[in-house]
Amino acid sequence: MNYEELEALEAVLAFVNARDDTTDLSPSHSTDASSYSVPIVPDDAVWLSEVTSDKKGICEPTSAVKQEIVRLKEMIKIPGRNRSRDLRKLETLQLQMEAEELQQRIQELRYTKMPVDEELLHPSTGTIQRPDGGRLDAWLGLAKRQKRLRNEAESENEYLRGLVQSQMKTIQKLKRLFHNQTVAKKFPSLVRRMIPTFVPDNGDHGLKVLERLGSSLNDLFLETDHVFQSNGFSSISSPFSQVNTQPLSSSSTRIEVLKCDVLPFDYRTLAKAIMRNLASDYTSDGKGKHIPPNLDMKVAARVDTLVIEELMKIQLRYMAVRHAEDNREVIVLTGQDELLEVFGVAVDGIKLQERSWCVLSAMSPGVCLLQMCMTVTVQAQPLLKDRREFTNKVYDLIARFEQEMSDSSLKEVEHELLHAAAQSGVS
């Protein structure tokens, strides 16, 4: 029994007591027990004001809720809005309106249409009991509806999660396809489908090779001017590109790649970008452990396996260092690579000794002259016996590979610097 029913009960008792007092004071009062009766106050008379106030309290918010629902339905049709948020709010308001209508119906049944059970009316004790079956059924129905809606929402969320996962897989596939297309554009002269993939190789043997290569970087830098003068490259200051192949012996061939270009960048900025492009994810366990201490700050090291579909699989191990001089930057690189597969055939014993010099000098403020000389000595003794034609194809493939790799690396650096300049101009 709630507080309102207690107040109603007190009103009935007060009415009964007042009637008794009036009967006792009346001169025509009769002491006959059969003439004594307790008047039963109808529910409508006792709680009429309460019903009226309840109806007013229910109808007013219901009208406001209906107006809000109509407004939300119109807002959902507007493109660009957050429809999921509006749908959730709309569903909440609809549930609220249904709950208010159920509560109003319960009040009407309770105060106007529900018959009073005479067996539940006890005048001697002055208590009135009312069945709550209608209210319980209404709340049970509302709870079942809410549970059903929750199950439907969970099912929809599960479907959306699956859809998002499938979309993420599709996005990954598209990214991989775009990457392959970009790589194919960088290497148009090799084959129709050349997709290089770097596979990290952090074995102890590769780290030992890096230590041995690092000890020769200073000597390689000292040879820069001599190399450029010996091949006549120091006198060239206009765009130029050439690839030379020279047999050294029956088991070795030297490939030389020469390139000269004029670029609209500061030479120091270009040198830093080239070093970032040469560097990889390789990091030593301790400072200077695999890198000479005097070169630690300006060294790029890499130990990777480059896989090119159906063409070759080559293990790259190189170190590069940058030296700053007056009006020029010098980047020298030394590497010891090994060819593992060629045209899908596993090979053993094909070694590549690589040495590169890249000189960046200032022609004018903001204009840089790039001069690069790359030599690769290929040792291919295991392929000599009755396989001279195959060996020549391997030499040609390596020569084109070295040229395309250098050109693509330079294009990537140019794109990075142009993008950075565009971003700084926009900001």
- For 154-192, the pLDDT digits (tens) are 998 988 988 888 888 788 777 767 766 665 565 444 433
Higher pLDDT, 120 or 353: 353
Determine which of 1-15, 244-258, 294-308 has the lowest per-residue pLDDT on average: 1-15
Quick one: 105 and 213 in the same domain? no
- Domain extent at residue 71: 3-131
pLDDT band per the 50, 70, 90 thresholds, residue 404: confident
pLDDT band per the 50, 70, 90 thresholds, residue 381: low
DSSP string over 398-411: HHHHHHHHHHHHHH
φ, ψ dihedrals at 5, nearest 5°: -65, -35
Quick one: 127 and 216 in the same domain? no
- For 202-235, the pLDDT digits (tens) are 455 556 667 677 677 778 888 888 888 887 777 7
Is residue 148 one of the residues assigned to a domain? no
Is residue 155 one of the residues assigned to a domain? no
Of 111, 131, 151, the position where a domain reaches its end is 131
Signed CA dihedral, 38, 42, 43, 48: sign only: negative
Between CA 279 and CA 237 the distance in angstroms is 28
Quick one: 296 and 388 in the same domain? yes
The CATH number of the domain holding residue 371 is 3.30.530.20
Whether 360 has a pLDDT exceeding 80, the answer reads: yes
Cβ neighbour number for residue 253 with a 10 Å cutoff: 21
> What is the number of structural domains in the chain?
2
Between CA 270 and CA 406 the distance in angstroms is 15
- For 24-72, the pLDDT digits (tens) are 444 444 444 344 444 444 444 444 445 455 544 444 556 777 788 888 7
What pLDDT is recorded for position 76?
Answer: 78
pTM (predicted TM-score) = 0.48
Residue linked to tokens 């002269």: 189
Whether 334 has a pLDDT exceeding 80, the answer reads: yes
Quick one: 126 and 32 in the same domain? yes
